[in-house]
Amino acid sequence: MIEASAAVPPIRVVAPATGELLAEVPDEGEAGVARAVDAARSAAPGWGALPLRDRAEALKRWRDAILDDAGVVRTLVAESGKPRQEAEGIEVLYLCELIRFTIRAARKALREETRHPFLFLTKKTRLVRHPLGVVGVIGPWNFPILNNAADAVAPLLAGNAVVLKPSEVTPLTSIRLAEIWARVGNPADVFRVVTGRGATGAALVERVDGVMFTGSVATGRKVAARAGERLVPCVTELGGKSPFVVLASANLERAAEAAAWSSFVHSGQACIRTERIYVEEAVAGRFEELLVERVRALRQGPPDPPSGEGPDLGAVTFPRQLEIVERHLADALVKGARLVIGGKRRKDLAGYFFEPTLLLGATPEMAVMREETFGPLVAVMRVKSAEEALRQANASHLGLNATVFGGGAEARAFARRIESGLVIVNDALVNYIVVEAPLGGWKESGVGVRHGIEGVRQWTRTQAITVRRPLLAPVERLVAKFLAFPYDARVLAVLRRATRLLYRRGLAAKLERMPGDGRP
Q: Where are the beta strands (DSSP E) in 389-505?
A: 398-399, 401-405, 422-425, 442-443, 446-447, 460-468
Active-site residue (options: 271, 288, 355, 444)? 271
3-state secondary structure 202-269: HHHHHHCCEEEEECCHHHHHHHHHHHHHHCCCEEEECCCCEEEEECCCCCHHHHHHHHHHHHHHHHHC
Select from 155-163, 213-221, 297-305, 359-367 the region that touches ligand NAD (CB under 6 A): 213-221
Using CB under 6 A as the binding rule, whether residue 142 contacts ligand NAD is answered as: yes
Q: Which is nearer to ligand NAD, 83 or 448 (CB)?
A: 448
Any catalytic annotation for residue 96?
no
When binding is defined by CB under 6 A, the residue of 141, 264, 287, 405 that contacts ligand NAD is 141
Cα 24 from Cα 75, distance rounded (Å): 14
When binding is defined by CB under 6 A, the residue of 28, 288, 312, 372 that contacts ligand NAD is 372
Active-site residue (options: 86, 91, 237, 444)? 237
Residue nearest to ligand NAD (CB): 201
Q: How far is the CB of 254 from ligand NAD (least distance, A)?
A: 25
Cα 311 from Cα 84, distance rounded (Å): 9
When binding is defined by CB under 6 A, the residue of 43, 77, 138, 360 that contacts ligand NAD is 138
Phi, psi for 383 (deg, rounded to 5): -130, 155
Helix (H, G, I), strand (E, B) or coil at 382: strand
Residues 439 to 498: which contact ligand NAD by CB under 6 A? 441, 446
Report the run of H or E that residue 414 belongs to, with start and end.
Answer: helix 408-416
Using CB under 6 A as the binding rule, whether residue 41 contacts ligand NAD is answered as: no
Using CB under 6 A as the binding rule, whether residue 168 contacts ligand NAD is answered as: yes
Q: How far is the CB of 374 from ligand NAD (least distance, A)?
A: 6
Any catalytic annotation for residue 86?
no
Q: Which is nearer to ligand NAD, 222 or 327 (CB)?
A: 222
Q: How far is the CB of 386 from ligand NAD (least distance, A)?
A: 27
Select from 119-127, 214-222, 299-307, 479-487 the region that touches ligand NAD (CB under 6 A): 214-222
Nearest CA among 140, 90, 139 for reference residue 320: 140
Q: Give the single-character DSSP code of 9.
A: P
When binding is defined by CB under 6 A, the residue of 122, 214, 262, 420 that contacts ligand NAD is 214
Spatial CB neighbours of 352, under 8 Å, sequence gap ≥ 6: 16, 17, 19, 81, 315, 316, 317, 318, 319, 321, 322, 345
- Hey, CA dihedral for 114, 118, 119, 120, is it positive or negative? positive
Provide the residue count of the chain: 520
Q: How far is the CB of 444 from ligand NAD (least distance, A)?
A: 10
Using CB under 6 A as the binding rule, whether residue 100 contacts ligand NAD is answered as: no
Cα 389 from Cα 283, distance rounded (Å): 13
When binding is defined by CB under 6 A, the residue of 75, 122, 167, 403 that contacts ligand NAD is 167
Using CB under 6 A as the binding rule, whether residue 147 contacts ligand NAD is answered as: yes
Catalytically active residues are: 237, 271
Interface positions with ligand NAD (CB under 6 A): 138-143, 147, 165, 167-168, 197-198, 201-202, 205, 214-216, 219, 222-223, 237-240, 271, 372, 374, 400, 441, 446
